[in-house]
Structure 1
Amino acid sequence: MSHQLVDTTTANSFLPMVSVVVPIYNGETDLPELINCFLSQTYPKDRVEYLLVDNNSSDRTLNYLKISAENSSITIRSFSENQIQSSYAARNTGIRAAIGEIIAFTDADCRPQSQWLKSLIQPFVKPDVVIVVGEIVALPGNTLLEQHANSQETLSQKHTLGHSFCPYGQTANLAIRRIALEKVGLFRPYLTTGGDADICWRILQENVGRWEFSPEAIVQHRHRTTFKELKSQWQRYGRSNRYLHELHGVKLMREITLKECGYRLGRWLLKEVPKDSVKAIAGKATLVDILNTPIGLFTARARYSGQQEAKLPENAKMIEWL
């Protein structure tokens, strides 16, 4: 990543039109807080529109969106994507309607901090920057699993930006220059996971421009609180791995066998638990630290099972165009 110096006056007067696209499925309980976060953005209100796309919700999401669009002091436009059940199809609906030269993405269960958009848009002052990735941090959580995910920084973009195949940003906090989407196409509408990596990789591999990370562009997100939710999250990561393997040749993860699990749990019980317990008594470790190994094995097994069971549907290879 090359860095060019930018005149600060240019940077301060750089206020491109931005379209924020959010796919929503059964999000009526999340929407009031999300819209409050949009209301508190420091980016000039007349330079941003919020495109909220209902993806066939069975609750009152669509109704709430229409009311918000009519009664808000910011520009909210509501849409529906009822044909295809996929957040990427819903995002495409938003992108098509967008008027901004920068398209920013977040999710209904995210909480963008007030400086989010301003920080996310700033790097685009450099004309060769086509993707900007903001950071995702956890909302404060009380459960053991939330604390574990927090200690592992599960959601942090530094994992995806450090991906061994090619860097990418998660759509919970991502902005893309519109011209990049004109050149490589939109999201694959029938893909159900992995679409964020796919679109970033297509842009970067076409050499349309480069990416930059904006750590001050912060979105908060809730961690999973139950083993059932945790299992389904990691199975989805596994499915994503399989799809990206078929689309881009990404390496598949190896199996963590029951025998290996047994060996690692034995070592954990005999070596790690006594050592971490001593640390805990001294106030230098917590229950979360003690349980890192078994929870880590649980998520690795879930991810592998998701990868094993997944098969990329033929229509998921299709790319939509602007």
Structure 2
Amino acid sequence: MDPYFTVVLPTTQSDQLTQCLHALHAQTLSPDQFEIVVVDDRNQPETAAAVAAFSRESRMEIRYLAQASRQGLSAARNRGWRAARGQFIAFTDADCLPQPTWLAAAQGMFRRGAQVVTGSVRVVAPRQPGQPRPQTVPDITELSTANCFCQKMALQRAGGFEETFDLAWREDLDLQFKFLEIGIPILRCPEAVVVQPMRPMSWYASLNNERKNRYDALLYKRHPELVRQRVHRSEAQVARQYLTVTGLVVALLSAAVGYWPVALLGLAVWLFCTGLSLSEEWSDQVDLLTNAKHAGATSVASPFLSVYWRLYGAVKYRVLYF
């Protein structure tokens, strides 16, 4: 008899996977009603060994699938749900901890006719300096890959996850928009709770994450109307980033040709904008050195990286997006 649920766990490392498996082992839903499919995007022997060991100890039904090459978490999720034996697919991440009634709560929604359900994600730690800060935030987050459930047929109709989003950014919003475009409602189930511990992150993490800005252009190309309606972007922040970059470029070019009044004006604009960013990033909650590294690097480098990756996305995906 096929299970009711297939829990799909995409992973790139094994250090937190076992904790997630323990959380699934503690589900109140009977173990014969769900299977677990772990999809390893890095094809790591230690991950395979950890899954095999946990399966033996827990006697749970766990399948391990390894990607031949690294393709991104969207591709891993697609492989997982397409291999599923369950009629309903539960998605979470390997660094998340589904609470004991997670599956049982979602099952109640599907028995009442739901096709797509989103639960609650509780982040257990506040943002610290160095954590990635998205440049845009959805006004209504109706779907999160850390905690969502889909009827397999609904995923087939929508085509699953768009694998062009090969970093963890905007792939869930893209799927949300695809469901909305084909008329599949997304229902909330606050009782289906996943806890997501916030990992400690380096002071330069926010700089690395600026590259995700290119996917905003891809999302806009695929769903222009829905992006305009449902995705809020701080126009003032974006304008300041362009002004910061323009100020320094004008200062350098003017200085190179000897136009010193214009060079000083451009430098003043850059210093003013950078100073505003520095004041916003500075925190009294951490030590001075960490604060200086994070706030200084973010204030100086982020505008240039953000503008670069935004324009990179516009060019790569051939869409007018700034």
Counterpart of 2:49 (choices 57, 63, 69) is 63
- 1:215-294 map, 5 Å: 216-236=192-212, 238-249=213-224, 250=227, 254-255=238-239, 256=241, 257-258=243-244, 262-263=271-272, 266=275, 287=285
Judging changes above 3 Å, is the alpha-carbon distance between structure 1 residues 303 and 116 closer, same or farther for their aligned structure 2 residues?
farther
| 1:307 and 2:310 matched | yes
1:171 aligned residue: 145
What's the CA shift for 1:52? 0.5
Segment of structure 1 superposing worse, 297-306 or 217-226? 297-306
TM-superposed CA distance for 1:30, in Å, is 1.4
C-alpha distance 287-268 of structure 1, shift in aligned 2 (>3 A): farther
Structure-2 separation of matches of 1:124 and 1:298: 49
SS of 1:46's equivalent?
A: helix
- Contact 1:139–1:223 (CA under 8 A) maintained in structure 2: no
Alpha-carbon spacing, 1:19–1:186, altered in 2? closer, same or farther (3 Å): same
Q: 1:311: Cα distance to partner?
A: 5.9
5 Å matches for 1:107-256? 107-127=93-113, 129-140=114-125, 144-145=128-129, 160=138, 162-163=139-140, 167-193=141-167, 194-214=170-190, 216-236=192-212, 238-249=213-224, 250=227, 254-255=238-239, 256=241
**Which protein shows a greater Rg?**
2
User: Is 1:104 the equivalent of 2:90?
Assistant: yes
Amino acid at match of 1:61: T
Q: Distance in 2 between matches of 1:300 and 1:168?
A: 29
Change (3 A) 1:50 1:248: same
2:50 aligned with 1:47? no
Report how many residues are paired. 270
* Cα distance in structure 1, aligned partners of 2:189 and 2:23: 21
CA distance in 1, matches of 2:178, 2:61: 31
Within 2, Cα distance between the matches of 1:99 and 1:312? 41
1:19 corresponding residue in structure 2: 6
TM-score normalised by length of structure 1: 0.69
Please identify, of 176-185 and 189-198, the stretch whose mean Cα deviation from structure 2 is larger: 189-198
Deviation at 1:99, TM superposition (A): 1.8
Q: What SS class does the counterpart of residue 174 from structure 2 fall into?
A: helix
Unmatched 5+ stretches in structure 1: 1-15, 277-284, 315-322
CA RMSD of aligned residues (A): 3.7
Give 2:257's aligned residue: none
